[in-house]
Structure 1
Amino acid sequence: MTTELQKSQAIGKYLRLSTHKARRILEQIKGKQYNEARLMLEFMPYKACKIITKILKSSFNNIEKNNNNLNLNINKENIIIKNAFANQGPTLKRFQPRAQGRAFPIRKPTCHITIELETI
């Protein structure tokens, strides 16, 4: 029986998170095995880890669903994170009132996170 490369991806859009903060974490898990990446994300102290873990699980469920249609068993040790990146989303622009009737701009960044998995 030949083993085909199975691929899947999951995208999280309009996440209230800076792209810089998301990329810092995504660079660390890129190229790792699925189980190793999940373990790393669980013990990192960043807010973005929780969001990235959800997207990683979603991508794994996508690859599992595709394989169930083909009646193949999938092993978590055989899955690697092929690609993980964060793109900038729209910035929410708000104003903070300041002294003497002035306004101070506040920019709340959003990002789109994409995680691609592949079986080896």
Structure 2
Amino acid sequence: MGKKTAPRRVADNEAIATCKMVRVSPQKLNLVAGLIRGKKVERALADLTFSKRRIAGDVKKVLESAIANAENNHGLDVDSLVVAEASVGKSLVMKRFRPRARGRTGKILKPFSRIRIMVREVEEQA
């Protein structure tokens, strides 16, 4: 007599992982997300491992989480996974102020972002 289970939001051959409070601007995060869109997961992991951008480590953690979700929760084959979607959105913005000359203030914006990575199992083409 409990609640019914919610239907899956994605197809049977897909898995998702999200991270909601990433301390970087969405514009910078989208550059790293664009680096992995459409690639096979092992190639995407290699690109993120050797990327010089600071946020690439956090994106790599989210991708590894999506791979683990696909393998453990949905029983998908890890070797045939591709990054189907890597979407970035805005989260909150911390507003800070810094004293400037002549009694004025300078506004400092510290943005946060969210990232959502979807991996999909595809069949190998002959």
Q: Shorter-chain TM-score category?
A: 0.7 to 0.9
Aligned counterpart in structure 1 of residue 40 of structure 2, from 33, 45, 53: 33
Aligned residue in 2 for 1:112: 114
**Equivalent position amino acid for 2:38 in 1:** G
Segments of 5+ residues of structure 2 without an aligned counterpart are 1-10
Identity %, equivalent residues: 28
Give matches, 1:13-28, under 5 Å.
13-28=20-35
Segments of 5+ residues of structure 1 without an aligned counterpart are none
1:102 Cα offset (Å): 2.1
Q: Is the 8 A contact 2:13 2:121 kept in 1?
A: yes
Runs of 4+ in structure 1 deviating by more than 4 angstroms, as ranges, are none
Q: Once superposed, what is the RMSD of the aligned Cα atoms?
A: 1.6
Q: Which has the higher contact order (CA 8 A, sep 6+)?
A: 1
Task: Tell me the TM-score normalized by structure 1.
Answer: 0.86
Aligned counterpart in structure 1 of residue 73 of structure 2, from 36, 42, 66: 66
Considering fraction of residues, name the structure with more helix: 1
Distance in 1 (alpha carbons) for counterparts of 2:61 and 2:35 = 16
Distance in 2 (alpha carbons) for counterparts of 1:42 and 1:75 = 22
Q: Is the 8 A contact 1:95 1:103 kept in 2?
A: yes
Q: Secondary structure at the match of 2:88?
A: strand
Give matches, 1:78-89, under 5 Å.
78-89=80-91
